[in-house]
Structures are given as structure tokens and as C-alpha cells.
Structure 1
Amino acid sequence: MPARLRSFIGTILIICLVIFYALAATTIATLLLGTSPWWVHLLYFLLSGLVWILPAMLIIRWMAGPKPK
């Protein structure tokens, strides 16, 4: 697959990932954390703000293509 096409597909995937993840994280927080103390909110948003990086790293690694030998 050409590098430009791989980059284009990866960019679209990352944008979709961020949108879906933001909506899911906000929905979960709204439904479950309504009456929780402030430190639970802090911990949740700290962790949920970092977790999306893992699938994004996989997409970026795929976009980079195979390693040169």
C-alpha cells in the first residue's frame, strides 16, 4: 500500500477514534460520576485522557509502514 494512502487512512481512523472515544468517555462520566467526589472525577478524567493514546499509537505505527531491514 502506498505511504500516502496509508497516511490518509490512518488520519481518518485517528479522527474517528478521538471523536468516538471522547463521546464514550463523556457519556460514561455523565452516567456514573454524577454524585462522586471531586477526586474520583480527577482520577477518571486523568486515566481516560491517557487511555486513548494506546490505540492511537497502534494506528500511527501502522501508518509508518514496515520497518526497513
Structure 2
Amino acid sequence: MPVRLRKLIGTILIIILVITYALAAVTFASLLLGASPWWVHLLYFLFTGLLWVLPAMLIIKWMEKPAKR
């Protein structure tokens, strides 16, 4: 697969990942953490705010592979 095509696909996947992940994290928080104290919200959003980086790193690693010859 050409590098440019891989980067285009990876960019689209990261955009979809971020949008889906943000909607899921906020939906989960609003449904289950509504009556929780402020520090639970803080910990939850700190954790979920960093957790999306793991799948994004895998996509970026795949995007940066050299083209096969």
C-alpha cells in the first residue's frame, strides 16, 4: 500500500476514533456519574482523556511503516 494512501486512511480512522470515543466517554459520564462528587468526575475525565491515545498510537505506528518494495 502506498504511504500516502496509508496516511489518508489513518487520518480518517483517527478522526473517527476521536469523535466516537468522545461521544462514548461523555455519554457514559452523563448516564453513570451524574450524582458522583467532583473529584470522581475529575479522575474519570483525566483517565478517559488520556486513554484514547493508546489506539491512536497504534494507528500512527501503522501509518508510519515504510512502503513494501
TM-score (norm 1): 0.94
Structure 2 gaps, min length 5: none
Tell me whether 1:26 sits opposite 2:32 in the alignment: no
AA at the equivalent of 2:65: G
Deviation at 1:14, TM superposition (A): 0.1
**1:9 paired residue number:** 9
AA at the equivalent of 1:13: L
5 Å matches for 1:1-69?
Answer: 1-66=1-66
Structure 1 gaps, min length 5: none
SS, match of residue 56 in structure 2: helix
**Number of equivalences:** 66
Q: Share of identical aligned residues, percent?
A: 76
Deviation at 1:16, TM superposition (A): 0.1
TM-score (norm 2): 0.94
